[in-house]
Chain A
Amino acid sequence: MNEWKLPDDLQRLENELKALPRPALPASLLTRGNQETCIPLRGERPRRWYGFAAAAAAAALLWANLSFRAAIATDFHLARQSQQSSVPQLEEQLHELLPELDARETRRQVVMIQASSGFAPRSAGPSPTVRSHRLTEIDQLL
């Protein structure tokens, strides 16, 4: 491989420049220069504050989303737990009432009536006073 050489006039100028006295670098500048050159050479990346902040913010957002969803998915058991008999038992009762219904329709009816226990608004039942008054009326009637 051929060695690359400067032209003579440029080589002379280079030698003259080398011969000139050089001022010493300030220590702070020297340290900074060394840091900037050595870190890439070691395969490290310079640590920047905004990179860390972005990663922390992303993690925080992810966590906030996760905790929000987890809170929504938590069952606090506030809804009324309905105590209902098993479907086959109820099917038996319904079959006694309407024997002409086929098996599919009987099960469907049981499921539909079970589902009727879940309507949201709560209608007002009779007050205890009204109820006791009514019982008295029945006694009189009988």
Chain B
Amino acid sequence: MGYALLWLENLAAAILLAATLLAFVGTIRRRWLSRSLGVLAILLPLAAYAVAIALTSWLIERGVLVGVHRPLLMSTVCYTIGGAWMLLRGLRREPGSSVSIRAGHWPGGRLAAALAVVLVLHAMTFWSLDAAVRQRLMAVRAEAGSLALSLAPPRVTDSENAAPVYQHVFDALDAFDRPDIWTDAVEARHVPVSNEGGFDYASAELSEFLAQHAGELAVIRQAAALPECRFERDYGRLSFEAAVPEQLRFRHAAQLLDIDARHKAATGDMGGAMENINAIFSVARHAASEPFLISTLSSFAIERLGIQAFETVQKSAPIAEEDLSILDLDESVSHRRLAARSFQMEEAAGLSLFCTLESGPFVPMYFEQTELEGIAEASGITSMYRVFHLAEDLASYRAQFRVIHMASAKPYYLTRNQWTDVRGSSKSEGVGALTSLILPDPAKIVERVQWAEAMHRVAVLGIAVCRYQAIHGRLPAALTDLTPNFVQILPSDPFDGEPMRFKLTDQGCVIYSIGPDLMDNDGGPHDKSDRSGDIRFVVASHAKTGDVTPPTSED
């Protein structure tokens, strides 16, 4: 209704403008001049309409704008009819009169006054619509808040909550400067522990450094041993300062545990190394308790740190079964579920971002220090956006997330094409201006999630194979040998839904997923640059002649 009124006023203003101009140019005595100017007067609003149509079409073509061109086209058609009528009536000759064309007799002053009144009313209608949109945004804000609060981690009892303990050790971690030995140890983690010529994890300097921080390590392990983690914060008003530095501290804590694990493995304390690695897995689980996408991705990175540490340590020396039994990498963890929760939080944050348009300019922070900063701060653009485009933009945002949530609910191998279609279709069909800025690239994120899921599953199987080897003194012939004593269910490859691949080699065995390239590369290492290769866990064989326990009937 409001829009009908707005477009009606717009049309009235355009016709009155043309009529007023025509009335004034009609008073010119030279007929050819008055006629020429009269035609220009009629064409002036038409040119404005044409520019508006061209601009909106261009934006629609680029996938930035949706929806507004239809009423604009209708107004243009109506004005064209009105303009043609004015041309026919107003440009007629008026012989024997003081004016050259008939429009010269039109009451120019009254038409100008009417135009002024219509323009004032037009501006007020626009203003009223803008105010109404801003009021409606409050409901969207409430929706975003409810969604965010529903995703907040549940309250836990103090005795089970690791967060206060982490908080205590994080302060200590913040306080100490990271010496060169820390940096070297972190950077050297991809080489085997006992690699000659590489970083020496058994060095006296590293021993001294770790001894200085034995207290922090003990507290991190205590925190990691607690089942839950919930930081006391207002999930209705989260801040970057609260969310990101904490994840960074989780990562630093995991790095300290990683260095200590490798040091312990290098000095022969495999039990201590396993305790640290298990603590890394727990830290990853705790980091994932926050519903943000960055928390989820950060937790994946921490878990990968633990998996890499374990893979490196088990290659260096055999690990006893009692030490391996310390490791508790949960089989039932679903990275897909964590990602689905993060997408919901993304949606809530996006809705909240739409609400910032209620009072401020066009999302200035997005354009900070970019060439668009000045344009974004112009309040007129924000008002135009709110009145003409916000509704379609928001609808488009919700529609995109509906597809994302539906795809998140199913395994990746069933929805792979759907994920690539989300952003692809949005580009071709056009989404809103803000949606195109804030919509995540779900295909990329989901691929990363599946990568982490595959890594988790091969690691679960890798730990099981190590335990099997520790008990039986040999590697299993197939993954099926691991059930039900070492793993309850054999996990499938998230990329194709098939069982995880297993390959015996001269040095041990490789458990692998085919990875994002969807090609079985025979357990070859993954190359991030071209996404080729497999996601694998290599178990070293430590079997010795005469040290083989015959398989039991249970196996």
Residues on A lying within 8 angstroms of B by beta carbon are 62, 65-66, 69, 72-73, 75, 79-80, 82, 84-88, 90, 93-94, 96-98, 100-101, 105, 107-123, 125-126, 131, 133-135, 137-138, 141-142
If A87-B365, A87-B368, A90-B244 touch, does A116 touch B440 (CB 8 Å cutoff)? Answer: no
If A107-B366, A119-B141 touch, does A84 touch B236 (CB 8 Å cutoff)? Answer: no
Docked pose: A111 CA to B369 CA in angstroms: 14
Residues in chain B near residue A112, CB distance under 8 A: 293, 346, 349-350, 353, 438
Q: How far, in Å, is A29 (CB) from chain B's closest CB? A: 36
Are the CB atoms of B365 and A94 closer together than 8 Å?
no
Encode contact with A along B241-256: 1 for CB under 8 Å, 0 otherwise.
Answer: 1011101100100000
Docked pose: A122 CA to B331 CA in angstroms: 36
In-complex Cβ contact of A82 among B148, B234, B239, B353 (8 A): B239
Are the CB atoms of A118 and B368 closer together than 8 Å?
no
Are the CB atoms of B240 and A135 closer together than 8 Å?
no
Q: Is B488 an interface residue (CB 8 A)?
A: no
Encode contact with A along B343-368: 1 for CB under 8 Å, 0 otherwise.
Answer: 00110111011011001000101101
Closest B residue to A75 using CB positions: B359
Q: How far, in Å, is B548 (CB) from chain A's closest CB? A: 42
If A69-B131, A121-B145, A121-B236 touch, does A115 touch B352 (CB 8 Å cutoff)? Answer: yes
If A119-B238, A122-B237 touch, does A134 touch B294 (CB 8 Å cutoff)? Answer: no
Closest A residue to B239 using CB positions: A117
Are the CB atoms of A125 and B366 closer together than 8 Å?
no
For chain B, the count of residues having a C-beta within 8 Å of the partner chain is: 65
Which residues of chain B in 199-254 are interfacial with respect to chain A, using CB atoms and an 8 Å cutoff? Answer: 219, 222, 232-241, 243-245, 247-248, 251
Q: How far, in Å, is B374 (CB) from chain A's closest CB? A: 16
Are the CB atoms of A119 and B232 closer together than 8 Å?
no
Closest A residue to B146 using CB positions: A121
Q: Is B168 an interface residue (CB 8 A)?
A: yes
Instruction: Choose, from B74-82, B158-166, B332-340, the stretch at the interface.
Output: B158-166
Secondary structure at the A interface, as helix, strand, loop or mixed, is helix
Residues on B lying within 8 angstroms of A by beta carbon are 120, 124, 127-128, 131, 135, 138, 141-142, 144-146, 148-149, 152, 158-159, 164-165, 168, 219, 222, 232-241, 243-245, 247-248, 251, 292-294, 297-298, 301, 345-346, 348-350, 352-353, 355-356, 359, 363, 365-366, 368-369, 437-438, 440-441, 444, 448
7 A–B contacts from the bound complex (CB under 8 Å): A93-B240, A97-B247, A97-B294, A111-B365, A119-B145, A120-B138, A141-B165
Docked pose: A69 CA to B125 CA in angstroms: 10
Residues in chain A near residue B135, CB distance under 8 A: 72
Residues in chain B near residue A119, CB distance under 8 A: 141, 144-145, 148-149, 235-238, 348, 352
Residue in A66, A72, A94, A113 with the greatest tally of chain B CB atoms within 10 Å: A113
Q: How far, in Å, is A78 (CB) from chain B's closest CB? A: 11
If A97-B251, A115-B353 touch, does A133 touch B158 (CB 8 Å cutoff)? Answer: yes
Closest A residue to B226 using CB positions: A141
Are the CB atoms of A122 and B234 closer together than 8 Å?
yes
Docked pose: A134 CA to B231 CA in angstroms: 12
Residues in chain B near residue A82, CB distance under 8 A: 239
Are the CB atoms of B141 and A118 closer together than 8 Å?
yes
Are the CB atoms of A113 and B240 closer together than 8 Å?
yes
Q: How far, in Å, is A95 (CB) from chain B's closest CB? A: 10
Are the CB atoms of B120 and A80 closer together than 8 Å?
no
Residues in chain A near residue B240, CB distance under 8 A: 84-85, 90, 93, 110, 113-114, 117
In-complex Cβ contact of A115 among B235, B247, B349, B368 (8 A): B349
Q: How far, in Å, is B416 (CB) from chain A's closest CB? A: 20
Docked pose: A122 CA to B158 CA in angstroms: 22
Docked pose: A109 CA to B297 CA in angstroms: 12
Residues in chain A near residue B144, CB distance under 8 A: 118-120
Closest A residue to B364 using CB positions: A87
Docked pose: A116 CA to B350 CA in angstroms: 8
Are the CB atoms of B219 and A142 closer together than 8 Å?
yes
Given contacts A65-B128, A118-B144, 16 further A-B contacts (CB under 8 A): A69-B131, A85-B240, A94-B244, A97-B298, A101-B297, A110-B365, A113-B243, A113-B349, A116-B349, A117-B238, A118-B352, A118-B356, A119-B141, A120-B138, A120-B145, A138-B168
Residues in chain B near residue A138, CB distance under 8 A: 164-165, 168
Q: How far, in Å, is B1 (CB) from chain A's closest CB? A: 16
Closest A residue to B248 using CB positions: A97
